[in-house]
Amino acid sequence: MYHPEALAPIVAFLREIGLDVVFGPGAEGGFLPGINIHAGTIHVDPETLVGSGDLLHEAGHVAIVPRRLWPHLGTDLHADTHAAITADAGSDAPEDPVLAMPLKQGEFMAQAWSFAAALHLGVPLGCVFFPGSYHVAAYEGIHPMQRWLEAGTHHGPAALARVGMTGFAGLFSFMGDNGLPPFPRMTRWIQD
């Protein structure tokens, strides 16, 4: 596992902000090795987890969805998020940004959320961005996804700002001032 030393602080943080994390065989069969979601609860198997930051990324997918919908989230986060949000909104295209943004920008939001969480925790960014993560097998220096986030050219922070989890930053500062400190500082970690 990339950066096993980061796993304990990550789990403690996720539990502190209200996410359920359990260890055991429920982690089998998830989208990423060593992690699976069952009814909004994140199941982890440290023996098969590739990178400790993968847990932050999957938690980001849950955190950006309103808490009342978490029980509807499972292994297929994309399909489950879409089904839960459209059922809640009564529409395939909800107008409320808190519901619309996870449908449109969910992957980018989870990437940005996990980056901000790693910085907040002071764990190595290499636990989130490692060879093979985000379908990037080989690179020199800094992982491209990390580079985009640090440069302010990644779409995720703007989507997080649109739903009131952080402020606008980087290239997307022109989109307005929502009165919140700029990304990567998060004003809140979950959607209530």
What are the tens digits of pLDDT across the range 84-125?
A: 999 999 887 788 999 999 999 999 999 999 999 999 999 999
**Stated pTM of the model:** 0.94
Tell me the three state secondary structure of residue 17.
coil
Inside any domain, residue 190: no
- Specify the long-range contacts of residues 153-157, CB closer than 8 Å, at least 24 apart: 154/108, 154/111, 154/112, 155/105, 155/108, 156/105, 156/108, 156/109, 156/110, 156/111, 156/112, 156/113, 156/115, 157/112, 157/183, 157/184
Tell me the three state secondary structure of residue 97.
helix
Inside any domain, residue 189: no
Inside any domain, residue 185: no
Q: Could you read off the pLDDT of 12-47 as tens digits, one per residue?
A: 999 999 999 999 999 999 999 999 999 999 999 999
Inside any domain, residue 188: no
Inside any domain, residue 191: no
> Would you state the pLDDT for residue 171?
82
In which domain, by residue range, is 23 found? 4-175
> Would you state the pLDDT for residue 140?
78
Q: Would you tell me how many other CB atoms lie within 10 Å of the CB of residue 51?
A: 25
Inside any domain, residue 137: yes
Mean pLDDT across the chain, nearest whole number? 93
> Would you state the pLDDT for residue 151?
93
- What is the number of structural domains in the chain? 1
Q: Residue 158 and residue 118: Cα distance in Å, rounded?
A: 18
Inside any domain, residue 27: yes
> Would you state the pLDDT for residue 65?
97
Residue 136 has pLDDT above 70, yes or no: no
> Would you state the pLDDT for residue 119?
98
- Nearest CA to 21 out of 99, 1, 52 is that of 52
Inside any domain, residue 187: no
> Would you state the pLDDT for residue 84?
95
User: Hey, what amino acid is at 86?
Assistant: T
